[in-house]
A and B are shown apart, each in its own frame.
Chain A
Amino acid sequence: MIIEQHYDEEVLAEFLAEPSDAVTRDKHLGSCGLCLKTLDSLRGSAQILREAAVWDKTPVSAAPRSETLAFLRGMQKSMLDEDAAAAVWIKQLLAGSRETWAPRLAEHPEWRTGGMVRALLKQSDSAIVTVPADAVSITQLALAITEHLPEQPASRHLRALARYELGYALWYTGAPVAALAEFDAAAVIFAAMPQAEFDLARVDLMRAMVCRMIEHRDEAVMIASAAAEVFHRYGDGDRVAAARSATALTLQGARRIREALALHLSIVEDRQIGETWRVSALQNAALCYRDLHEFESAKSFLSRAITGFEKLGKMTDRSKSRWVFAQILVQQQRYDAALPMLREVREDFQEIGMFNDVALASLDIAEALLAAGRISEIGDACRAALDYFSQSGLTQTEPALRAIAFLQEAAAAGRITTHRIQDVRSFLLAPADNRKPLFLELPS
């Protein structure tokens, strides 16, 4: 029996003074995990002993200061009191229609407290997903209150937060330029506050997202990367993922696909982030692979994203992933596999009332049928969508309805082409106030 011999600490300590390649040159050490681990530990100890902080003789009191304790507890107590009062007032303030809120606030100067600002910002967070326009008004109320608070750091902090949340609500409602103005104003306040580095990074992340939207890409990448570094230091894994994702999406927009893909993959691999970010990164990586025409990798990532979205209960995102999957099958000319999936996706969108997506999925079906030479089925495919739109009877469906009706007419007239489908798609994707009319030319 062979008994393995290891170096003792004394021998290993001698390696501390040796050049780094001495380890690889040593026959035993190069292959012994246990000895390498001990050597690493010794290196760590030696490294700490080289730090000035370890030898600093300046005394630092170990006991907490009673005055700091009293001050902090007093602040917390007064904030809790303010929050308790605000919990009652906010119900009175936000009763009735949006138009009544500001006049009511003006009637109650006693409501102008920090607690009320915090309560309104919290309220805007739930309003943003239900009635985004309410969130804009609510954050405007919060901002108005901060203008009346006594001039001190905590008030300035709240004012900057209110501007940030107002910007967020504006961004959410599709007003990026107005949002950017609020983010810039918040950034100016936060930048002057040494303790607001984290909040400033939050603002910067949103500024990066707006910059990306208005195609100021270099600025977006620079701001998002700097924000990611701050979030990393503050131990906020999800926000690191958000900032890196913003950088990657900007690169994607600039067609720097390989760089974007590398970032998305790094998010997928990051163990510090939540599942939502990981699954979103899977989907985004799949889109990069698709753009690079690496279809098998794209499908593999999409399959993982579909499963992930399903587990998270994000069924709309799941449907969108399946939609991309089906589109890739069409690109691969696998029409028989793609068409059932496209029909299922369209049904999903019908169920959740995503009219434009129903129309766009119908176009994909028409395009796939055309490519597969099954032209006679296009009319039926359009009719199914038209039935859905007419049953819905909503005004929002009008452009989608018009587009599909046009397509059906073209199919019936035997004049459907890929080019015509593209025209309909452009019509649907154009902003509502900038749609060119759809005309079917007269037969020659």
Chain B
Amino acid sequence: MIELDVVETPPPAAPQASTDGAPDIGDLYVLHRPLLLHIACRKFRVGETEAESLLQEVFLSYMTTTTKVENVKAWLVAAMCNASRHYWRGQGKTESLPDNFDDHSDPKSHSVAEQAAMEITMRQALDYLQPRCRETLHLHYYEGRSAVDVAEKLETTSRYAEKLIHNCLKRVREIYFSITAVKR
């Protein structure tokens, strides 16, 4: 018997329908800018002015690519991550890199879009909290302090600090879910 050829579908070379019929690039920019800027500025610590330039280059590249883009948001996010990494590589030649530069090569960057969206929402939710509550969450979750440490810092009892940590987490979650709730 002969060895039949395996089914090998070549990857599409198909150029996209050029710019004809494409969505307005300005609308795409307005839609995705907050997320992309968050990624560049917050995840990769790129300055806002430089991030805006990178954003422009990413959109230019998106417009120039001749192939069909399956998932526009994922494409733009991945391109923004790559542009930010490249930015730091360039900067690395002239100035010291941020301490957590390794984190910038996040292997899970396919989920960066979702992660960034959650972070943006959580930032919004935190803005609605009372300052004391925000400080409690900062001390416990971000700084990693125990309830005893938090109590010391806030000059209260550890039992009350535990209660505070729980209530503040509960409150921020309520706000978070009210922001993300789908209105019927």
What is the interface of chain A, defined by CB distance below 8 A to chain B? 9-10, 13, 41-42, 44-46, 48-56, 58, 60-62, 64-65, 68-69, 71-73, 75-76, 79-80, 83, 115, 118-119, 121-122, 124-125, 128, 153-154, 157-158, 161, 164-165, 168, 171-172, 193-199, 202, 205-206, 209, 230, 232-239, 242-243, 245-246, 249, 252, 276-277, 279-280, 283-284, 287, 317, 320, 323-324, 327, 330-331, 360, 363-364, 367, 425, 429
Report B89 CB to chain A, min CB distance, Å.
9
Q: Which listed residue, B13, B61, B116, touches A125 by the CB 8 Å rule?
A: B13
| B51 closest partner in A (C-beta) | A60
Q: Please, how many angstroms separate the alpha-carbon atoms of A232 and B86 in the complex?
A: 19
A-B contact count (CB 8 A): 235
What is the interface of chain B, defined by CB distance below 8 A to chain A? 1-2, 4-15, 17-20, 22, 24-26, 29-30, 33-34, 37-38, 41-43, 48, 52, 55-61, 63-67, 69-71, 73-75, 78-79, 81-83, 86-87, 100, 109-110, 115-116, 118-119, 122-123, 126, 137-138, 141-142, 144, 165-166, 169-170, 172-173, 176
> Is B56 touching A71 in the complex (CB atoms < 8 A)?
yes
| Also in contact, A79 and B18, with CB within 8 A (given A10-B166, A196-B61) | yes
> Is B7 touching A317 in the complex (CB atoms < 8 A)?
yes
> Is B166 touching A76 in the complex (CB atoms < 8 A)?
no
> Is A195 touching B19 in the complex (CB atoms < 8 A)?
no
> Is B7 touching A168 in the complex (CB atoms < 8 A)?
no
Report A173 CB to chain B, min CB distance, Å.
13
Give 7 closest A-B pairs by Cβ, nearest first: A235-B74, A235-B71, A195-B61, A53-B42, A194-B86, A49-B141, A280-B7
> Is A121 touching B66 in the complex (CB atoms < 8 A)?
yes
| Also in contact, A249 and B8, with CB within 8 A (given A79-B18, A198-B65, A367-B1) | yes
Q: Which listed residue, A205, A236, A323, A425, touches B70 by the CB 8 Å rule?
A: A236
> Is B78 touching A61 in the complex (CB atoms < 8 A)?
no
A-B contact pairs, 6 of them (CB 8 A): A49-B169, A54-B142, A69-B29, A122-B17, A193-B61, A242-B10
> Is B78 touching A233 in the complex (CB atoms < 8 A)?
yes
| Also in contact, A72 and B42, with CB within 8 A (given A65-B52, A121-B15) | no
